[in-house]
């Protein structure tokens, strides 16, 4: 009986060894197949990733091109009304738009800020000063004084500078006597 048990055990062990060997060969084939499929999936993933990155870069480039369009086009109706009411020149408008973009606020809100108000007032004052001083290099033409102003200036003690004005003043005094 012992021999029979041993033979049965050997047979059982042998059959399990055979099953393991065939299973191992099947597993090896399955593992190699899985590795091949994994490599293919990784290649596909990398290709898709590269395509997506290229598409995102192109879309970003198109957005940047559109944002570099003229600045006037992106103003809202409220901003346009605020600019019209503020009565500002083009240079100041560019500063206001830059400030609004920097602060990430609308142009109408930027016009309400104290910093922009100070800039607008300073530019307006500089403009008034420039107009008042007439910094141009053009010669000023001599104005012919009216008869009344010649007589009034002579009574006040201001005598005319040109010979023609002195002649006119003498004639006016003769006529008035």
pLDDT on residue 66: 63
Q: What is the 3-state secondary structure (H, E, C) of 120-143?
A: HHHHHHHHHHHHHHCCCCCCCCCC
pLDDT band at 71 (very low <50, low <70, confident <90, very high): very low
pLDDT on residue 18: 47
Q: What would the pLDDT profile of 20-29 be if each residue is shown by its tens digit?
A: 444 556 677 8
pLDDT on residue 51: 94
pLDDT band at 88 (very low <50, low <70, confident <90, very high): confident
What DSSP state is assigned to residue 69? S
Could you tell me which residue, 32 or 68, shows the higher pLDDT? 32
Other C-beta atoms closer than 10 Å to the C-beta of 100 total: 20
Distances (CA, A) of 87 to 1, 32, 82, 100, 163: 117, 77, 9, 17, 49
As a whole-number percent, the residues of the chain with pLDDT over 90 amount to 18
Give yes or no for a contact between 111 and 96, defined as CB atoms under 8 angstroms apart: yes
Other C-beta atoms closer than 10 Å to the C-beta of 10 total: 10
pLDDT band at 55 (very low <50, low <70, confident <90, very high): very high
Mean pLDDT of 71-95: 79
Give yes or no for a contact between 150 and 169, defined as CB atoms under 8 angstroms apart: yes
Rounded CA gap, 113 and 134, in Å? 32
pLDDT band at 64 (very low <50, low <70, confident <90, very high): confident
pLDDT on residue 108: 87
Mean pLDDT of 158-174: 86
As a whole-number percent, the residues of the chain with pLDDT over 70 amount to 74
pLDDT band at 93 (very low <50, low <70, confident <90, very high): confident
Note the pTM of the prediction, 2 decimals: 0.35
């Amino acid at each position: 009986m012992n021999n029979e048990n041993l033979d049965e055990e050997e047979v059982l062990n042998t059959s399990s060894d055979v099953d393991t060997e065939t299973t191992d060969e099947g597993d090896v084939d399955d593992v190699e197949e899985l590795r091949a499929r994994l490599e293919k999936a990784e290649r596909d993933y990398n290709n898709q990733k590269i395509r997506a990155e290229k598409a995102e870069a192109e879309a970003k480039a198109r957005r940047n091109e559109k944002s570099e369009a003229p600045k006037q086009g992106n103003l809202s109706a409220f901003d346009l009304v605020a600019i019209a009411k503020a009565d500002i020149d083009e240079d100041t408008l560019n500063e206001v738009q830059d400030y609004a973009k920097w602060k990430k606020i609308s142009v109408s809100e930027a016009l309400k800020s104290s910093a922009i108000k100070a800039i607008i007032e300073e530019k307006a004052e500089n403009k008034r000063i420039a107009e008042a001083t007439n910094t141009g290099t053009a010669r000023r033409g001599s104005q012919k004084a009216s008869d009344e102003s010649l007589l009034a200036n002579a009574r006040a003690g201001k005598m005319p500078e040109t010979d023609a004005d002195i002649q006119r003043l003498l004639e006016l005094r003769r006529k008035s006597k």
